[in-house]
Amino acid sequence: MARAKEFDYNDVLDKATEIFLEKGYYNTSFQDLVDYMGIHRRSIYDTYGDKKQLYLKALERYAKFVNQNYFSLISDDMTIHQKFETIFKYSAFPMKDCPKGCLFVNSAIELAPSDNDISTQVKLFFENTKKFFVDILTVAKEKKEIDQSANIYKIASYLNNALIGIRVLVKCSPSENELNDIIKTTLSVL
């Protein structure tokens, strides 16, 4: 008779995400995963698959986490500037329970050049962020918050690229003033 799982699937997957974010894919050994996730090697394989399958599941969960946070942080009554400032500050100054940086940025650098599955997930995440920005900018244009001749697709691409840059920079622990200045300058395009 098979034993019931004695752990929460998502809680343990969150732990895998944390260690991958901290150490990277290649620097995280399977034993690191066993130790940090707090479950047996066999349970990892049976539940999540091999290391790469686990990583892909971690990326999927991380994408949902980030997207849910973006949606929960902004509201319809905010101005376009307030919405983007909130998004950028969320990435620049993560809450205590959020690690610095971004699993997708790390994946883009470490794995995407040599792994098509990872590359596909990274591209999808960045494209979804850009689409989210296009949606925000479309509403702002309808409300006449931005210039009517503005190319929202170009602005969305620029802001997406800038946000990726912020996610890289926070790993180097710049000062709060520097990050605020970068955000202010970036958002001046609005």
CB atoms within 10 A of CB 123: 13
CB atoms within 10 A of CB 171: 14
pLDDT of 4 above 60: no
pLDDT at residue 5, as a whole number: 64
pLDDT of 142 above 60: yes
User: For residue 71, what are its two tokens?
Assistant: 């949606």
pLDDT > 70 fraction of the chain, expressed in percent and rounded: 95
pLDDT of 141 above 80: yes
Whether residue 90 contacts residue 65, with contact meaning beta carbons closer than 8 Å, is answered with no
Buried b (16+ CB within 10 A) or exposed e, 70-90: beeebeeeeebeebbbebbeb
Q: Is this prediction's pTM over 0.75?
A: yes
**∠21-24-27 over CA atoms, to 5°?**
140
128 falls in which pLDDT band (50, 70, 90)? very high
Residues 6+ apart with CB under 8 A from 131: 156
Pairwise CA distance, residues 16 & 71, whole Å: 24
pLDDT at residue 6, as a whole number: 80
